[in-house]
């Protein structure tokens, strides 16, 4: 087949915050959902490029949102870019396929970008199927389909299965489509069923598929930050020396030099508005490591932390870990707070976020990530982790800034923290708690 005889069309959306993956926004936030859309699209584009190089396909990306210039600057290279146009998804698919056949294609396949498990081998099987069939479909686990392919002769016979008779977005899209195809006496083939990513409960399987491959780092360190220019450079210094570790700074809209400091250190930096829970979830969605470690921007990990993390999680029945707390400062009372925190962490298995919580990627997503609340997100995740397995302390210390205790005094800060925990445990909403807590902090 010549390059013009077979066409591959990728349907996707430009990753604009607030306009893409909206059903993931409660967990990832607008920016995190857009960053996840970016990651999905880049994975799909790589798959399309691999299939195209194997078979000599004409490659086209049809997009919603953004512009041809933005798409070309982002994905560039071997693709032709065009807007999807107007109408429902069926009308847009029909017009895209019509354009491919009008240019001389004899076989055309259209894929979506929301299937992280889709690979080039599956796409190529679709073209092989069209040698003996009029149509080919890739069934999606939600009842739709992630791939449709057809011959030019089939298209000329009409496409009622792309028309208004299909309730797009429903769970019986493929079933209704196939009923119309059978009524038209068309020969079709089904490929393997794959899962798409549409809702938060789809994220565990999606992250497993996105993070497959031998070149991923072992540990991803996620650092939520907001106006931390004076602290974050020192926190990043230890990470820079650690092998097989990626670092992702998730900036919440800093007005100081936080982003500049992070990027100067060569660290990947993305933007996601607070609360911190959403920032950390967004960073986790961008991460590739098998292990996720959540680090506050004013906390420094010990040298060799990566080996301690791996050994801790390798212990039997361990769901998560953290480091012993060390507070940077010499104010009276800080030593006592350290001892109380480390006792609580060891015997009650209740470490907090300033101790650098870490866990396996699958565990994090299967537990629903950090709850999207403005305070107590680490406390709530740890409670879920305890139901999953043991939470143990690594031998090293996470040294955190003493500024919070210095501002109000060690004893007063400790008492405020305990009051917040107690109120949360008896059912006071995080929204009320965060207003009270910030007021007490001054």
The answer as to whether 287 is a domain residue is yes
- Same domain (yes/no): 295, 371: yes
Torsion sign across C-alpha atoms 212, 214, 215, 219: positive
Q: How many domains is the chain built from?
A: 2
In a domain, 385, yes or no: yes
Helix (H, G, I), strand (E, B) or coil at 286: helix
Q: 67 and 160: one domain?
A: yes
Is the same domain home to 375 and 404? yes
* 404 SS3 class: helix
Q: Is the peptide bond before 275 cis (omega within 30 degrees of 0)?
A: yes
Rounded average pLDDT per 10-residue block, the chain, 442 residues: 78 96 96 96 97 96 97 93 96 97 97 96 98 97 96 97 91 96 97 95 94 84 97 92 95 97 95 96 96 97 96 97 93 89 95 96 97 96 97 97 84 87 94 83 57
The predicted structure's pLDDT at residue 440? 63
Q: If we measure between CA atoms, which residue out of 209, 185, 219 comes closest to residue 291?
A: 219
CATH number of the structural domain spanning residue 344: 3.90.550.10
Pairing of strands 107-112, 6-13: parallel
Residue 212 lies in a domain: no
Residue entry with tokens 């350290």: 338
Last residue in a domain, options 200, 228, 252: 200
Indicate if 169 and 301 belong to the same structural domain.
Answer: no
Query: pLDDT value at position 1?
Result: 43
Domain span at residue 236 reads 217-441
415 within domain boundaries: yes
CB contact at 8 A, 173 and 163: no
Same domain, 225 and 259: yes
pLDDT score at 2: 46
Kindly state whether residues 231 and 93 are assigned to the same domain: no
Whether 196 and 237 share a structural domain: no
Q: Are strands 135-139 and 145-151 parallel, antiparallel or unpaired?
A: antiparallel
3 state DSSP class of 435: helix
- Same domain membership, residue 153 and residue 229: no
pTM: 0.93
17 and 61 share one domain:
yes
SS (H, E, C) 326-386: EEECCCCCHHHHHHHHHHHHHHCCCCCHHHCCEEEHHHHHHCCCCCCCCCCHHHHHHHHHH
Residues 6+ apart with CB under 8 A from 152: 101, 105, 106, 107, 108
pLDDT of residue 247: 97
Please check whether residues 181 and 229 belong to one and the same domain.
no
For 137, the enclosing helix (H) or strand (E) is strand 135-139
Q: Residue 414: what pLDDT?
A: 85
Domain stops at, among 173, 200, 227: 200
Dihedral (C-alpha) 163, 65, 40, 306: value to the nearest 10 degrees? -160
Same domain, 326 and 381: yes
Q: Are residues 406 and 307 in the same domain?
A: yes
């Amino acid at each position: 087949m010549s390059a013009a005889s077979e066409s591959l069309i990728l349907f996707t959306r430009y990753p604009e915050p607030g306009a893409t993956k909206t059903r993931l926004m409660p967990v990832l936030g607008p920016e995190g959902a857009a960053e996840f859309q970016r990651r999905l699209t880049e994975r799909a584009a790589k798959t399309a490029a691999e299939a195209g190089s194997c078979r000599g396909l004409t490659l086209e990306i049809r997009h919603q949102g953004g512009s041809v210039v933005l798409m070309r600057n982002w994905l560039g290279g071997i693709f032709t870019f065009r807007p999807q146009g107007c109408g429902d998804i069926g009308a847009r698919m029909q017009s895209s396929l019509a354009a491919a056949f009008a240019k001389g294609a004899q076989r055309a396949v259209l894929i979506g970008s929301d299937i992280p498990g889709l690979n080039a081998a599956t796409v190529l099987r679709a073209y092989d199927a069209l040698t003996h069939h009029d149509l080919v479909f890739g069934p999606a686990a939600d009842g739709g389909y992630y791939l449709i392919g057809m011959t030019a002769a089939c298209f000329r016979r009409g496409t009622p299965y792309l028309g208004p008779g299909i309730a797009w977005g429903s769970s019986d899209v493929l079933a209704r489509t196939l009923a119309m195809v059978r009524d038209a006496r068309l020969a079709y083939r089904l490929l393997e069923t794959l899962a798409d990513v549409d809702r938060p409960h789809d994220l565990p399987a999606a992250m497993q598929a996105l993070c497959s491959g031998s070149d991923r780092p072992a540990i991803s360190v996620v650092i939520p930050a907001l106006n931390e220019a004076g602290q974050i450079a020192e926190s990043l210094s230890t990470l820079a020396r650690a092998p097989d570790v990626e670092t992702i700074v998730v900036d919440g809209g800093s007005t100081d030099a936080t982003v500049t400091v992070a990027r100067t250190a060569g660290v990947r930096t993305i933007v996601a508005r607070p609360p911190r829970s959403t920032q950390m979830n967004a960073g986790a969605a961008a991460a590739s490591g098998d292990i996720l470690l959540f680090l506050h921007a004013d906390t420094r990990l010990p040298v060799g932390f990566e080996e301690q993390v791996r050994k801790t999680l390798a212990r039997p029945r361990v769901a998560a870990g953290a480091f012993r707390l060390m507070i940077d400062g010499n104010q009276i009372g800080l030593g006592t707070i350290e001892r109380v925190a480390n006792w609580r962490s060891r015997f009650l298995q209740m470490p907090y976020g300033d101790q650098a919580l870490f866990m396996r990627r699958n565990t994090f997503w299967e537990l629903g990530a950090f709850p999207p609340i403005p305070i107590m997100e680490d406390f709530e995740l740890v409670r879920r982790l305890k139901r999953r397995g043991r939470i143990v302390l690594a031998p090293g210390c996470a040294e955190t800034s003493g500024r919070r205790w210095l501002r109000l005094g060690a004893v007063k800060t400790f008492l405020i923290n305990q009051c917040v925990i107690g109120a949360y445990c008896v059912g006071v909403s995080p929204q009320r708690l965060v207003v009270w807590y910030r007021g007490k902090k001054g």
